[in-house]
């Protein structure tokens, strides 16, 4: 596929040659992504901000890039716009107007809830851009540890729809009679849910978009004028024989460099083992931590399935009752 890159004054992003190797910072981010708790969130944000990680996800999930090579996607990516933790208000002000093209990962206003995006960036839409006109896609990527959030509990899908709507509205400043709505560009909100996914939903990828339905007659309107909001939900599960996005993401969440290498073709060529050998110790430590956590939960589940009450299991294993009940609730959710 030949892409027509639009006219822009921004510096062109060079496409790395096959002979180059993934950056050390990215490799370290891959290994540290398996840490749990608060470190988990920070680790995943850092991991997902790397171009080597972003590009394969876009290629496997976003329709606009289905026929693009990873090198072509990389050329479209506005690397300078990738953000994780910048704070900004969507109330218009001079300082914001003078900022560069960097996307804001937080949005707030006087009347709406603060929105904090995990990873947010712009990328050229190869379907609509021309040599003289640049049309962007606005991408929000969320690494969601639990598909069933608590305190409060809510459907992830509703939150995703709200996020993509706020992302769209943030493209315009204060609405006036002279507001140019033609400047609105398409937004994607991509959610990767790793845990607490009901069994019937595991290993599924679903796209939710704004579409047209003719009721009386046919309205021949350009799709790009109304198809501005798309949510993609990726729900991981147990190991699956199906390759592609699920196999790739499993590699990310477990720090499996060799598995990731099968899908990320940017800056890969030489055997990665030698380059990553200095970090395998940390990767093994994360892997072992996951194994131990699995054994721990396995003992609790085994005791509960034998007919013992949570109180009896707590006493038998010398573990907090709250932990026992949490494992019990998670198992009930998965089996629904």
The model's pLDDT over 54-77, given as tens digits with 9 standing for 90+, comes to 999 999 999 999 999 999 999 999
Most confidently modeled of 2-6, 287-291, 296-300? 296-300
Q: What is the pLDDT of residue 218?
A: 96
What is the distance, to the nearest Å, from the Cα of residue 91 to the centroid of all Cα atoms in its chain?
26
Question: Are residues 313 and 304 in contact, defined by beta-carbon separation less than 8 angstroms?
Answer: yes
Q: What average pLDDT does this structure show over 107-133?
A: 79
Burial tier of 124 (Cβ tally within 10 Å: 0-12, 13-18, 19+): buried
CA-based torsion, 309, 310, 311, 315: positive or negative: positive
DSSP for 303-328? HHHTT--HHHHHHHHT--HHHHHHHH
Mean pLDDT lowest for which of 124-128, 163-167, 254-258?
Answer: 254-258
Question: Are residues 48 and 54 in contact, defined by beta-carbon separation less than 8 angstroms?
Answer: yes
Q: What is the pLDDT of residue 103?
A: 65
Contacts of 301 (CB under 8 A, 6+ apart): 327, 331
CA 40-45-49 angle, 5° bins: 145
Distances (CA, A) of 213 to 161, 167, 210, 219, 226: 20, 24, 10, 9, 12
What is the distance, to the nearest Å, from the Cα of residue 242 to the centroid of all Cα atoms in its chain?
20
Contacts of 170 (CB under 8 A, 6+ apart): 90, 104, 107
Q: Give SS3 for 157.
A: helix
Q: What is the pLDDT of residue 98?
A: 29
Q: What average pLDDT is seen over the chain?
A: 75
What confidence category does residue 111 fall into, taking pLDDT thresholds of 50, 70 and 90? low
Mean pLDDT lowest for which of 29-38, 110-119, 181-190, 281-290?
Answer: 281-290
Closest listed residue to residue 166, CA positions, set 215, 231, 220: 231
Q: Which tops the pLDDT comparison, 113 or 274?
A: 113
- Given a cut of 70, whether residue 251 has pLDDT beyond it is yes
Query: Is this prediction's pTM over 0.75?
Result: no
Closest listed residue to residue 155, CA positions, set 144, 166, 169: 144
Q: What is the pLDDT of residue 108?
A: 59
Q: What average pLDDT does this structure show over 232-253?
A: 86
- At 15, list the tokens: 């496409």
- Given a cut of 60, whether residue 95 has pLDDT beyond it is no
- Given a cut of 80, whether residue 100 has pLDDT beyond it is no
What is the distance, to the nearest Å, from the Cα of residue 228 to the centroid of all Cα atoms in its chain?
19
269: phi then psi, degrees, rounded to nearest 5: -160, -50
Residue matched to tokens 């002000």: 93
Q: Give SS3 for 235.
A: strand
212: phi then psi, degrees, rounded to nearest 5: -100, 140
Q: By percentage, how much of the chain surpasses pLDDT 90?
A: 34
208: phi then psi, degrees, rounded to nearest 5: -120, 125
Mean pLDDT lowest for which of 173-182, 184-193, 224-233?
Answer: 173-182
Q: Which tops the pLDDT comparison, 101 or 22?
A: 22
- Given a cut of 50, whether residue 270 has pLDDT beyond it is no
Residue matched to tokens 């208000």: 89
Distance CA 117, CA 167 (A): 9
Q: What is the pLDDT of residue 110?
A: 47
Question: In 3-state terms, the chain is what percent helix, strand and coil (to 5)?
Answer: 40, 15, 45
Q: What is the pLDDT of residue 319?
A: 83
Q: What is the pLDDT of residue 19?
A: 42
pLDDT digits (tens, 9 = 90+) for 219-242: 999 999 999 999 999 999 887 777
- At 200, list the tokens: 């019937």
Q: Within the chain, where are the H helices?
A: 24-32, 38-48, 51-61, 70-76, 94-97, 156-169, 245-254, 257-261, 272-276, 280-305, 310-317, 321-334
Distance CA 7, CA 124 (A): 11
């Amino acid at each position: 596929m030949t892409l027509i890159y639009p006219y822009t004054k921004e510096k062109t992003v060079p496409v790395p040659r096959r002979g180059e190797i993934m950056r050390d910072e990215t490799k370290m981010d891959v290994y540290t992504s398996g840490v749990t708790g608060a470190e988990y969130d920070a680790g995943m944000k850092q991991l997902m901000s790397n171009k080597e990680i972003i590009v394969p996800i876009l290629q496997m999930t976003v329709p606009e890039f289905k026929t693009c090579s990873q090198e072509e996607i990389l050329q479209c990516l506005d690397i300078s716009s990738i953000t994780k933790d910048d704070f900004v208000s969507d109330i218009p002000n001079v300082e914001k107007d003078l900022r560069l093209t960097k996307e804001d990962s937080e949005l707030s206003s006087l009347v709406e809830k603060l929105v904090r995006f995990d990873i947010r960036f712009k990328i050229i839409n190869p379907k609509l851009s021309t040599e003289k006109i640049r049309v962007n896609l606005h991408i929000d990527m969320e690494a969601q540890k639990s598909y069933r959030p608590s305190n409060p509990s809510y459907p992830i899908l509703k939150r995703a729809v709200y996020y993509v709507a706020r992302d769209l509205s943030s493209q315009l400043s204060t609405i006036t009679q002279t507001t140019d709505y033609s400047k609105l560009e398409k937004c994607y909100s991509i959610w990767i849910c790793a845990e607490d996914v009901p069994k019937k939903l595991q290993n599924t990828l679903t796209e939710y978009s704004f579409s047209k339905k003719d009721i009386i007659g046919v309205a021949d309107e350009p799709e790009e004028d109304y198809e501005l909001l798309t949510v993609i939900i990726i729900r991981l599960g147990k190991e699956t024989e199906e390759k592609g996005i699920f196999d790739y993401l499993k590699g990310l969440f477990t720090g499996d460099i060799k598995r990731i290498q099968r899908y990320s073709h940017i800056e890969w060529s030489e055997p990665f083992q030698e380059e990553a050998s200095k970090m395998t110790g940390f990767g093994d430590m994360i892997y072992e931590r996951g194994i131990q956590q699995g054994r721990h939960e396995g003992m609790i589940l085994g005791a509960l399935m034998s007919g013992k009450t949570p109180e009896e299991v707590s006493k038998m294993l010398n573990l907090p009752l709250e932990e026992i009940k949490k494992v019990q609730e998670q198992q009930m959710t998965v089996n629904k």
